Structure 1
Amino acid sequence: MAESFEEPKVSLRLIVDEEKNKVVLAEAGNDFVDVLFSLLMLPIGTIVRLFENHRKSETVTVGCFSNVYKSVVDMDMDNFETAACKEMLLYPRGLKDELWKRFKININPTVGVNKFYTCQNFADCNMCSNFSSSNCQCGRLMDKEIQLPEADKVADVDGVFIRGRYSFIITDDLKVSVDSIGLVLKTLGSLGYADVSKLGERILDIGLGEVLTLLECIFSTNTPLTDTFLKKQRLHDVSQISKQLSPRVKEKDEAELLSLDVIVKKEDMKVLYVECCEDFVDLLFTFLAVPLESIWDFTGNNITLGCIGNLHRSLSGLSVIKKTRVSSFSCTLPCYYRCQKQFPMITTQEPRVYYRFRNSNVRQQEFSLTTNNEEDNYFLSCVTLIDPKSPCSGGFVKRETRFTVSDDLVITPKNSSRTSFCLLKKLQIGANDLEVKVITIGKAEALNLLSASLVTSSALSSAFGNLIVKKPKEETVSWNRVSKKPKVET
């Protein structure tokens, strides 16, 4: 008989105002709070993919990032440097991926954690890759899997984020605090529930489906617990609940990154498209690999979006959180996300050095990898970890390529079937009504673009609008017949 698979569950107790059908408080243990904080670890590209898979019959958008992700999906493979480039953008990876398997509910069972691939001629080539779609320098596909020896597991009674064993209270807008009677009384009083006899209790077993719905509601509402577990509402478009962005001011002596040709409407100087080189597209694609936690760090108080801010502040401020978080003002990605024009606040890990060995057991003929060059094994030698992108290019898309990027970040390579004339016909705007502006962007504009991409449907206009010089109103001069003086009309 086939062994039945039981879906992992975590327990959650809801304190409910039955009359209003509203969650007043939730009580949870380490397991649920760990899963809740794990949502901040998700790369923005993974969030888009999870939403699409969870709501197949409905369109769920996350600002303009849904269009960036779909552009990767729709773009022909021959526009990418290698097949691995497209794979690493559709399934972003991070430096904390090994932690996912420790969560009671793993929302991101990442492919490729602790895995390496070689070609069938590994004994001679001495090269490996993190992607099975890579090609070895000998020309063979690197589809033979090699795994690093797992470190000895140490018993850990703590959670992934939580130090020790605690219970927590969580407000409907996702403010997480360590449970105490004093805090519960204070919170209930501030919410107008001094008489606790009027409140009911519900104990729920939460699975993967409920966590995905909660993730959607964290983006879209100020009452995600109520909307997820009581009202079971769907996600609204993220752009509907964001506030107006305030552009960042360029710092003194700030380095310029890229130059763009911006196509605007003369009437209101609204950005319609930009025409750009491959470096700007690489920048947009890199954003897909940035965790939600880092995006929130970068944007600061510039945006309001659901309850992400409350959750982020809880993770940063709880005294029982393990102090293993990186600086809030930088994001480090795996080495293979490095590009020629790197976003100033995104760094990449230096490639680690690996060694191969054949076990001293003569019956074991397979080679393995290790990070320790002092293993008591035969045939120990250094292994080259290749860049799954083309080493000479340093980017995701092919060099010497022009692209168009729409205001809502639909990215299209320019080729024989997508010419400038075709673009003008698609816009359905007279040529005299359009103007081309040349702008140069740096760190401030890149941060504006990152913020706008998360919360608006017009990222380019929001991010670069302050760089577009608006024409002053034209003045017409006529003569006043009585005074014989010029009269200025606007």
Structure 2
Amino acid sequence: MAKSSEEPKFTLRLIVDEEKNKVVLAEACRDFVDVLFSLLTLPMGTIVRLLENHRKSEPVTVGCFNNLYRSVVEMSRDSFETEACKQMLMYLRSVRDVQCKRLKLNINPTEDIKCFKCPSYCSLYSNFNTSICSCGNLTNEEIKLENKEKVAGQNQSDANGVFVSGRCSFILTDDLEVAVKSTELVLNKLKSLGCADVSKLGERLLDIGLEEVLTLLECIFSSNAPLTDAFLNKKSPQGVTKFYKSLSPCLEKKEDETEPEKVVTLKAFVRKQDMKILFIECGEEFVELLLSFLAVPLESVWEISGSSISLGCIGNLCRSFSDLKANEGTEVSPSTCVLPSFYNFQMQLPGIITQQPPVYYRYRLNDYRQVSYGLTTNGNRTTYFRKDRIVRVDLMDPKSRGINKSTHGFLKKETKFTVLDDLTITSMNSCSTVCLLKNLQSHADDLEVQVVSISNAEALNLLRASLVTSAALSTALWNLIAKKLKEETDLLSPVSKKVKEET
């Protein structure tokens, strides 16, 4: 890795077909491959935020996710249960945040987790200084947190990377297949790519920093040759072929899972001319399902979607990650998607679980001037004073208010929303139906209402469609609309036949 006083940079060796100005292969160090694989661990909402900040004038659009994230940003605080709810969705956390702190270049640095308490003598603690205690005060007094989650493996030797181990170099193809470098592999790759005549190939050394990694992240979604587009053309390509098909759920419930499948009913406003869903009216449960998509990391989105989508080179990168972990003999990540503590939604995709919050213990600080306390994760910690004792404390769910510790969703109950086909979400209190129809350039006579029910199969199809289309509702739910129309036609058929016979 090249050294820089400003930011970490990596040296990437490109093997280039000079005639076509195209990357054939790239040689990279382990630290760069770690950064590359870390992109898979980012929540989808974080990816949208990073890409929009990277290229504000013309950000890369990832299906409907940009609209979903922008809806959160523009949504009124009154729509959320607490102030923390909006912050959690705007600045999403990942269960891999601790690992990513060890990266030589972390494109999404996150703050250490903090703990706050009520300034009164209450016993409520929270990770957010905006939480409201049962006494009505804000939990805005920061408390010392001992034994914070240490960066995983920070004392490991240089032979251990973050996501891949060893001091070896790696070979990358232009479509982001990654493998451990060997002479035999290089020869085989050159032959398979039709580049056996090495006299036509050149080498270029590039210094890769934050800007280059973000450009590569853009191209992973929008290109079938991201190395060429990011490092030779130095731009994100426009207009990339995407593929989608509706499939049954890829994740099945475990046998010991007894929770019944949740089904929500909503009203779809359909244009008669082409049966396109223009918008839907729904409660907070369906909107929370859509918002949960933002919290799912990229690697889990691809696993859930399976072979039903083709988008850039995400599939190659995910497969390479799994293959390298398997070859090392380390445990391959389970297909179950794990979200950080408190990221539990009123309705979410099957196969998603939420981490349990950490358990903290209160202890008295070694301060003779005043009685003050700190928190520790060590329940067997030795006390400073003989008569002191370690007391377990539970963190408030930042989505709850005061003494009500029951699990809440992010949005207030009984709230009504309008969701457009491109997954732009607005509160029904903030816009009128007439204004909506004007914006959609629709005539009231052109619309009909269809009542549809959303279960796991439709939820999974919505996730897939939201990644690769700008019309997620029509793409994912067209079969429900078609089914309703067929049922209505079948009901009318005997009546029509009878009228025809009578005439």
Q: TM-score, normalised by structure 2?
A: 0.87
Q: Tell me by how many angstroms 1:246 deviates.
A: 2.4
Matches within 5 A, 1:420-431: 420-431=433-444
Report if the CA contact (8 A) 1:60-1:235 is conserved.
Answer: no
Q: Secondary structure at the match of 1:115?
A: coil
User: Matches of 1:427 and 1:193 in 2, distance apart?
Assistant: 52
443 and 164 in structure 1: CA distance in 2 versus 1, 3 angstrom threshold:
same
What corresponds to 2:205 in structure 1?
A: 203
Question: Which deviates more, 265-274 or 312-321?
Answer: 312-321
Q: Which moved more, 1:205-214 or 1:143-152?
A: 143-152
Q: Which amino acid aligns with 2:155?
A: V
Residues 161-190 of structure 1 deviation map (CA, whole Å, 9 limit, x = unaligned): 112221110000000011111110011111
Comparing 248-257 with 50-59, which one deviates more in the overlay?
Answer: 248-257
Residue in 2 aligned with 1:131? Answer: 128
Asked whether the equivalents of residues 10 and 32 of structure 2 are also in contact (C-alpha less than 8 Å), the reply is yes
Q: Does 1:38 align with 2:28?
A: no
Q: State the alpha-carbon separation in 2 of the partners of residues 131 and 62 from structure 1.
A: 30
| Paired AA for residue 339 in structure 1 | F
User: Can you list the C-alpha shifts for 1:249-299, whole angstroms capped at 9, x where unaligned?
Assistant: 799998342111111011221111111000011111111111001111100
Is 1:26 equivalent to 2:18 in the alignment? no
Partner of 1:225 in structure 2?
227
> How far is 1:332 from its partner?
1.3
Conserved in 1, the CA contact under 8 Å of 2:246 and 2:476?
Answer: no
* Whole-angstrom CA distance in 2 between matches of 1:324 and 1:366: 43
Q: In the aligned structure 1, how far is the partner of 2:431 from the partner of 2:64? A: 22
Corresponding residue number in structure 1 for 2:156? 155
For 1:313, what is the secondary structure of its paired residue?
helix
Please name the residue that 1:403 is paired with: 417
Seq. identity, % = 56
The aligned amino acid for 1:230 is L
SS across alignment from 1:405? strand
Indicate the SS of the match to 1:300.
helix
TM alignment of 1:337-376, pairs within 5 A: 337-360=343-366, 362=368, 366-376=372-382
Q: Which of 388, 391, 395 pairs up with 1:381?
A: 391
CA distance in 1, matches of 2:204, 2:375: 50
- 1:94-113 equivalences under 5 Å are 94-111=94-111, 113=112
Q: CA deviation at 1:363?
A: 6.5
SS at match of 1:435: strand
1:49-128 → structure 2 map (5 Å cutoff): 49-111=49-111, 113-121=112-120, 124-128=121-125
Shift of residue 67 of structure 1? Answer: 0.2
Compared with structure 1, are the counterparts of its residues 23 and 362 closer, same or farther at alpha carbon in structure 2 (3 Å cutoff)?
same
The root-mean-square deviation of aligned C-alpha atoms, in Å, is 2.6
Q: Residues of 2 paired with 1:325 and 1:128: CA distance? A: 35
Aligned AA (1:119) = C
Report the alpha carbon displacement of residue 320 of structure 1 after superposing the two structures with TM.
4.6
2: CA distance, partners of 1:175 / 1:249: 27
Counterparts in 2 of 1:291-302, with a 5 A limit? 291-302=297-308
Deviation at 1:96, TM superposition (A): 1.6
Please give the TM-score of this superposition, normalised by the length of structure 1.
0.89
Does residue 446 of structure 1 match 2:473?
no
Distance 1:149 1:235, change over 3 A: farther
Number of positions where the alignment pairs a residue of Structure 1 with one of Structure 2:
467
**Residue ranges of structure 1 left out of the alignment (5+ in a row):** 476-485
SS state of the match for residue 36, structure 1?
helix
1:452/1:16 CA distance change after superposition, 3 Å: same
Distance 1:299-1:192 versus aligned 2 partners, 3 A rule: same
**Does the Cα contact within 8 Å between 1:315 and 1:321 map onto a contact in 2?**
no
State the match for 1:10 in structure 2. 10
1:335 aligns to what? 341
Where do 5+ consecutive residues of structure 2 fail to align? 494-499
What secondary structure sits across from 1:13 in the alignment?
strand
**Mapped partners of 2:192, 2:350: distance in 1:** 43
Amino acid at match of 1:155: Q
